[in-house]
Structure formats: C-alpha cells, structure tokens
Structure 1
Amino acid sequence: MEIDPQKPTVKNPAARFAGDVWLDPIAFPREDGQRMTVAKVRFAPGARTAWHSHAVGQTLHITQGVAWVGTRGGTKMEAHQGQTLYCPPNEEHWHGASADSFMEHLAMLDNAEDPSTTTAWFEHVTDDEYRA
C-alpha cells in the first residue's frame, strides 16, 4: 500500500481547452498494470474542452456547478451536482461549465493498451456549438 504525495494543480493547455480550466491529478496508471486515471477538473464559467474522444470511454461525476456536455451528433445535455455522465468509447464530445457557473467534475477513464491512443484531441468547440 502507498500514499501518493499530493501533486500540484495544473492549468490545462489552451490547445485543448477554452477558458480557464484547472486539473488536480488523483489516480494515474502504475507499473503494476493499473490503467485507471482520475482527476478533479475545475472549469470557470464558459470554459470547456476541445472536441475529443476516449478509446475506452470516460465517466464524469459532477461535484459542483452545472456542466454542459455536447456530442458530434448535436446532442447537448446539462448535468448538475451529484449526477454522473458516461461517454462511450470513441464518441466525439466536449464538456465544460455553463455560461454563468463554475463547474467541477471528477474525470475517470482507463488508459488504452497504447497510452498514446487513450484520448484523441480535435478542434476547439465554437461559440455557436457551445451555446446551441
């Protein structure tokens, strides 16, 4: 058994996020074969991810605020504190805070066999897509 040292909060890169988004790592892959990644992610109002997908899917648990989540097919959902969303493998999607509320979620996913293929990043979500 191990207690991991606390890792510093990092600001997510502008190439993959619009607005101010901070990440606190919680769990990460280990040499013993564990492939789970968990992070606490905080979004300022209006902040969001770029379009992306996950090879093995992703689970988001909203811990504070109001989340907006959109899919390539045009579906947009709103989730609130205590709700959990599941994004299936390879579904292109985005997620972020509503326009007038901070939002925090736990992002949980398993890494793919080849970790470099776990998350595929695409272009930024336009303001029109975000507001739709």
Structure 2
Amino acid sequence: IQHLRRLYLFRFANAMYLLQFLVVGATGAVVNLAVLSGLQLAGLAPWICLAGGIGVSLVTNFLLNRRFTFSYARRGHAGRQFLGFLGASLVGLTVNYAVALGLSHKVLTGAYGLQVSAMIGIAAGMVFNFLGNRYIVFRKRYIRD
C-alpha cells in the first residue's frame, strides 16, 4: 500500500496532497465540532466555543498533516514547522472564525446553529489553509547540483 501511495504521489502529487489534506481536515472538523460542543455544553459563550474548537483542531491537524499528508517534511524542525503552519493558517483561521461567528450570530440561531456555522466556516477557511501549508510550510526542497 505504501508503494502505491508513493506512485500516486509521484504521478498526481497535488491531487494526492489535496486528498490527504481533506481527509486530515475531516478529522480536524470532527475534533473541532466535538470541542465546540463540549464547551457549549459547559455554558461558555459562542465566541469562546468557536475559538476553542479551532485551536484544538489546529494542533491535531498540524500533527496529522506533518505525519501523513506532508510526510516528506517529518525530519524538519517541528517547532519551526508549527509556527509556519500557524502563520500559513492565519488567513484560513480568520475566515473560518469570522464566517462561523457571523452566521451563528445573525443567520443560524437554532439548536445546532453554532455547529452548522462552524462547519461552513471550516469549509470557507480550508482553501486558504491548503495553499499556505502546501506551498509555504511543507514545500519540498530540492538540492541543486
């Protein structure tokens, strides 16, 4: 299976990185919604619930992306990569948070309004996160002769 994965990565690199990024993102969305729902059950304000879900999923997404999606970068300095991941994700995080908070405040105010708003925010921020992380944080470095 590893050999087939490597062949697909060689032939369809960007599509495969995007697919793996989406799978990791889906697990991050589950983590985000679980943390958000737990904080909401604890009675915290919606803005805190959204920020908590995003923060925890940011860390889990970094770890999973570093391990699986961009596995070629595992030997790099994890601290620097995390700071780069955070920097590259700031636009996506901002879009995610602003969309989710705006929708939960004005449009989706029902029983599961915060969760639906968070899912829409996650989708809106995902594009920015993939591009920043693929081409800035976990870019491949080539040795020139």
| TM-based fold match above 0.5 | no
Which structure shows the higher strand fraction?
1
Q: TM-score, normalised by structure 2?
A: 0.30
Select the structure with the greater relative contact order (CA < 8 A; seq sep ≥ 6). 1
Which structure shows the higher helix fraction?
2
